[in-house]
Copies of this chain bind each other. A is one copy, B any other.
Amino acid sequence: MVGIRERKKQRTRRALIQAALRLFDEKGYEETTLAEIAAAADVSTRTFFSYFASKEDVLFFDAAARIETTLALVATRRPDEAPPELLMRIVRAGLAWTVEDQDFRPEDVRLRMRLVMTVPALQARALHLLFDNQLRLTRALREAYPGELGPVEAAAAVGALAGATKLAVVASLNRDGSLEQAAEAALQAAEITVRGLASLGRPAAR
């Protein structure tokens, strides 16, 4: 499993990611060609596609790992734990993962986030991945609460939490920028969602 072959592949993969990040930063996403990325990582253009399915995908290298982790979390559901509690644990774990990324420099984490938020093609890809994960999470949630959670209820719960946190994060980043503030906004949005939108507007219960 850890032969020269495997390690070389990991090195190439990382080289492609780093090359892409650097070039996207220097010249912009659409202005950077695949040929340039491949050249900067010292592989042929064709080889790029045996590592990533598309130009967009190179920036979502951790997507698979994230969804696996999320689904694994659902399996840790405690017997007395209601769906909203479990989902809140998942939200917090997801935010933590983003804020403290161990594999890449904070600089690169911010760069990636900026790219994903500003380049339409990347935005679309991100939303698509997120959506796919919501579908899978919904299914997993129903399995974690057999008989207790109807299809519409599960979809509503997952969709509402994901939608609220997503929009809160983006709105926060658009307004000021700090990752920590965005995470804080996401948490607030999640709490509002659990409590119910009805609590908005009139009561103003602080």
Spell out A's residues near B (CB within 8 Å).
82-84, 87, 120, 123-125, 127-128, 131, 134-135, 138, 145, 148-149, 151-168, 170-172, 175, 185, 188-190, 192-202, 204
Contact = CB atoms under 8 A, between A and B. Distances in A.
A160 B164 contact: yes
B153 A200 contact: yes
A197 B197 contact: no
A174 to B, nearest CB: 8
One complex includes copies of this chain to the number of 2
B171 A151 contact: yes
Contacts of A175: 151
A171 B150 CA distance: 11
A5 to B, nearest CB: 31
Contact of A158 (B84, B152, B167): B167
A161 B101 CA distance: 30
A140 to B, nearest CB: 13
A170 B135 CA distance: 9
Nearest to A142: B171
15 contacts: A124-B124, A124-B128, A155-B164, A155-B171, A156-B167, A157-B200, A159-B168, A160-B161, A160-B189, A160-B193, A193-B196, A194-B196, A195-B196, A196-B197, A196-B198
A168 B156 contact: yes
A192 B124 contact: no
B196 A168 contact: no
Name the 7 nearest CB pairs between A and B, nearest first: A163-B163, A196-B196, A159-B167, A82-B201, A156-B189, A160-B164, A159-B163
